[in-house]
Amino acid sequence: MSYKFLDHATDAIIEVTAKDLKEAFSVTADAVVNLTLDQDKVEEKEKKEFSAQGKDVRYLLFSWLEEIPFVLITEGFAIKRIEFEIIEENGYKINAIAYGEPLDIHKHNFKVEIKAPTFYDMEIRQNDGVYMRFLLDL
C-alpha cells in the first residue's frame, strides 16, 4: 500500500495502490491529510464523525475527497488517523471517525488548502489489488 504525488504545475495528482478497497481509501485519506499538514505532529485528543457516500466507487471517492478537506479546513480539525467502514447497499457509504485535535497552523505545519476534488483524470482499477489516481484542485 502506498501513495505518491505526481508532478503538476498547479494541482495535486495522487496515485494510490492498495490490496483492497478499504486500504485504498485509508491510503487516500493519509495522502490528503499529509498534503495539507504534517500528520505526525497531530495528537489524538478529540474525535469527529463524518460520512461520505456515492452511487458507485468513483462517486464515493469524490465524496471522500470532499469530506476530508472539509473536516481539516472548514471545521479546523487536524486529523491523526481515521477509522471507517465501507457499506455497500444502494450504492456505497463510508461511516468514519477522525481522531485528532483542533488545527494549529504553526504546530501542524499547514501546507496548502485543497479547494476541491475533480473527476478529471480520475481512474480506479480493481484487479489484483486497487489502483486509484485522482486530481485535487489546490
Question: Is there a contact between 78 and 105 (Cβ–Cβ < 8 Å)?
Answer: no
pLDDT tens digits, residue range 53-100? 999 999 999 999 999 999 999 999 999 999 999 999 999 999 999 999
* 29 strand-pairing partners: none
Name residues whose C-beta falls within 8 Å of residue 55's C-beta, 6 or more positions apart in sequence.
91, 92
Q: How confident is the model at residue 8 (pLDDT cuts 50, 70, 90)?
A: low
pLDDT above 80 for 6: no
Mean pLDDT of all residues in 34-44? 97
- pLDDT at position 4 over 90: no
Instruction: Please write the tens of the pLDDT for every residue from 102-124.
Output: 999 999 999 999 999 999 989 99
Please give the residue range of the domain that contains residue 52: 2-137
The CA distances from residue 21 to 7, 61, 98, in Å, are 25, 10, 19
Measured between alpha carbons, how far is 89 from 80 in angstroms, rounded to an integer? Answer: 29
Q: How far is CA 29 from the centre of its chain?
A: 3
CATH number, domain of 87, equals 3.55.10.10
The rounded distance, in Å, linking the Cα atoms of 42 and 104 is: 9
Cell numbers at 11, concatenated: 494541482
> Which pLDDT score is estimated for 10?
76
CA-based Rg of the chain, rounded to a whole angstrom?
14
Q: How many domains are there within the chain?
A: 1
| pLDDT at site 3 | 72
The beta strand positions in 8-138, using DSSP E, are 12-18, 46-54, 77-88, 92-102, 116-127, 129-137
